[in-house]
Amino acid sequence: MRVLVTGGLGYIGSHTCVQMIEAGMTPIIVDNLYNSKTTVLARIEKLTGVLPLFYQGDICDRDFLDNVFHLNDIDAVIHFAGLKAVNESVDAPLEYYKNNVHGTLVLVEAMQAASVNTMVFSSSATVYGEPATTPVTEEFPTKAINPYGRSKLMVEECLVDIQKAHPEMSITLLRYFNPVGAHPSGEMGEDPQGIPNNLMPFISQVAVGRREYLSVFGNDYPTVDGTGVRDYIHVLDLADGHLAALNHKGKEAGLHIYNLGTGNGFSVLQMVEAFSKSSGVEVAYQIAPRRPGDIAECWADPGKAKRELHWEATRTIDDMTTDTWRWQSNNPNGYPDA
């Protein structure tokens, strides 16, 4: 199967490309390098023996996409490309709606022009807003509370309408919980530019000495120890979820929605402790005020994906922290420049 992978040089996309190649699929990568580097390609080749085809360009550029579809006989699209920082989205909503919403619409137009009917889309648990209870099932009401979340929800709603009008299409919305971890080889991992927004890269940068201490955003939530609780999922489990989506629903016309999470919640302090144990490095932290917009706790009911995609997360918190540490300690400054 030949799959166009937008954003394929990014964190989740690159790990998915490795798993795809291992499974005998052919990823064809499109990325504008906004948040990634071409040196990721060499790591994919090192791990798999295959250097995937890569086209540098923007998903908002219809001519560029038409050319990629024209040059390759593409069976399906996995659509990772987009902007993902919540804080940044508050300051630059236009960029978020342009890249995430408009970019997806241009991509769907190009797919239709090339008669490609299958798409797997990177959505997010952020579309549930503050869930009334946990675990969260796919039937929970959706509500976004920031421009990033709204852009994901708008794309979901657009894709629902588009699929309804084009019943031959197969569109799968994957709502990720909190992706963490790295490839166990230590060759690939998360490489955020600037100060990390997310917990795990922040912890690992403290451990490797790039940052002094972690600010724990709030210890007065109604949770196990007062700190925020999330459903952390190993990036390779998440990657495998995309393969399962393509294999089980990709050929079935319709609109399919799945939570990709483990079904377990861990607090910030539990993650700090797990990371210190795996790395042998004490992670310094200070309690700070709550981060605006954060919710107390959220974890998935991943039962639907298990039943229908025959997929479930198998990697443990120890795998997530150990693999992150191997990546971070081998590559303290992330990927080299091209």
Q: Which residue number has the CB closest to ligand UFG? A: 228
Q: Is 84 in the site for ligand NAD (CB under 6 A)?
A: yes
DSSP string, 188-245: -----SSS--SHHHHHHHHHTTSSS-EEEE-S-SSSSSSS-EE-EEEHHHHHHHHHHH
DSSP E strand boundaries for 32-163: 53-56, 76-79, 118-124
CB of 334 vs ligand NAD, minimal distance in Å:
11
Question: Shortest distance, CB of residue 337 to ligand UFG, whole angstroms?
Answer: 25
Binding of residue 81 to ligand NAD (CB under 6 A): yes
H and E: helices and strands count for the chain: 12, 13
Residue 202 touches which of ligand UFG, ligand NAD, none (Cβ within 5-8 Å per kind):
ligand UFG
291 is an interface residue for ligand UFG by CB under 6 A: yes
Residue 216 binds ligand UFG, judged by CB under 6 A: yes
* Per-residue interface string for the shown chain with ligand UFG, residues 60-99, x marking contact by CB under 6 A: ------------------------x-x-------------
Q: Is the peptide bond before 292 cis (omega within 30 degrees of 0)?
A: no
Q: Give the position of tokens 């239709």.
A: 112
The region of 18-26, 35-43, 171-179, 252-260 touching ligand UFG under the rule CB under 6 A is: 171-179
The residue among 83 and 246 lying less far from ligand UFG, judged by its C-beta, is 83
Count of residues that bind ligand NAD according to CB under 6 A: 27
Which of these segments, 75-83, 138-146, 224-232, 285-293, binds ligand NAD (CB under 6 A)?
75-83
Q: Which is nearer to ligand NAD, 124 or 324 (CB)?
A: 124
Asked whether position 331 contacts ligand NAD by CB under 6 A, the answer is no
The closest of 85, 83, 86, 84 to 292, measured between CA atoms, is 86
Please check whether residue 73 is in contact with residue 112, taking contact to mean a CB–CB distance below 8 angstroms.
no
Instruction: Tell which one of 99, 117, 267, 331 touches ligand NAD (CB under 6 A).
Output: 99
Q: Which of residues 7-46 bind ligand NAD (CB under 6 A)?
A: 7, 9-13, 31-36
Catalytic residue among 11, 97, 128, 148: 148
Strand partners for 121: 79, 173
Q: Which one of ligand UFG, ligand NAD, none is in contact with 216 (Cβ closer than 5 to 8 A by kind)? A: ligand UFG
C-beta of 189: minimal distance to ligand NAD in Å?
11
DSSP letter, residue 300: B
∠ CA 12-249-49, rounded to 5°: 45
How far apart CA 24 and CA 324 sit, in angstroms, is 26
Nearer to ligand NAD by Cβ, of 11 and 251: the residue is: 11
Give 37's strand partners.
Answer: none
- Tell me if 179 contacts ligand NAD by CB under 6 A: yes
Structure tokens at 316: 């443990």
Residue 64 contacts ligand NAD per CB under 6 A: no
Q: Are 246 and 3 in contact (CB under 8 A)?
A: yes
Contact call for residue 178 and ligand UFG (CB under 6 A) = yes
148 is catalytic: yes
Structure tokens at 309: 């995609």
215 binds ligand UFG (CB under 6 A): yes
Instruction: DSSP for 216-231, please give it.
Output: EE-S-SSSSSSS-EE-
Residue 20 in contact with residue 48, Cβ under 8 Å? no
Active site residues: 148
Site for ligand UFG, rule CB under 6 A: 84, 86, 124-126, 176-178, 197-199, 202, 214-217, 228, 230, 268, 291, 294
